[in-house]
Amino acid sequence: MNALGIIKRPQLGGDVDTHCGKCGEIREHVIAALNVKGGIERVQCRTCHSNHLYRERQTKTASSRVASRTNKKDSHHSDEGTGPSRTYSMQERFAVGDRLEHPKFGLGVVVEVRAGKIDVKFGREVKTLIHAG
């Protein structure tokens, strides 16, 4: 199924422009999960932080925009980004790239999401935490 001319494989934590049901328009999303074929399974809206399934049909128009945007804005991936952080709770659902505030470990960045668990980088240390995903 490579009829769409996919050039490179999507990566967890990467950006993709797709339609957000909550915002009601095309928004920049973070890739939160990949499917077994290496395609995008779930994305999280950078604007409203809603986590939803990725709908493939937007890729035709979005792919070129993604490329130029990625170069400009996210050329360097910073751990100390400027995005808002959320208070950590195991009832919350987190995605790669999310910043969170943990009562014990402080400010961290989600570097990996697995079933029910997230790896969060606090400074130089990576801790595995439970989340609702």
- Tell me which of 47, 61, 64, 128 binds Zn ion, using CB under 5 A: 47
- Report if residue 22 touches Zn ion, rule: CB under 5 A: yes
Question: Phi and psi of 15, rounded to 5°?
Answer: -105, 145
DSSP string, 45-114: ETTT--EEEPPGGGHHHHHHHHHHHHHHHSSS--TT-SS-EEE--TTS---TT-EEEETTTEEEEEEEEE
- Report if residue 48 touches Zn ion, rule: CB under 5 A: yes
- Report if residue 73 touches Zn ion, rule: CB under 5 A: no
Q: How far is the CB of 19 from Zn ion (least distance, A)?
A: 9
- Report if residue 53 touches Zn ion, rule: CB under 5 A: no
Q: Pick the piece of the chain touching Zn ion (CB under 5 A) from 17-25, 81-89, 108-116, 121-129.
A: 17-25
- Tell me which of 23, 53, 130, 132 binds Zn ion, using CB under 5 A: 23
- Report if residue 6 touches Zn ion, rule: CB under 5 A: no
How far is residue 68's CA from residue 114's CA, in Å, rounded to a whole number? 29
Count of residues of this chain found to bind Zn ion when the rule CB under 5 A is applied = 7
Q: What pairs with residue 17 in β-bridges?
A: 28
- Tell me which of 45, 96, 100, 120 binds Zn ion, using CB under 5 A: 45
Q: Alpha helix (H) ranges present in 13-118?
A: 59-73
Q: What pairs with residue 121 in β-bridges?
A: 109, 126
- Which residues form the interface with Zn ion (CB under 5 A)? 20, 22-23, 27, 45, 47-48
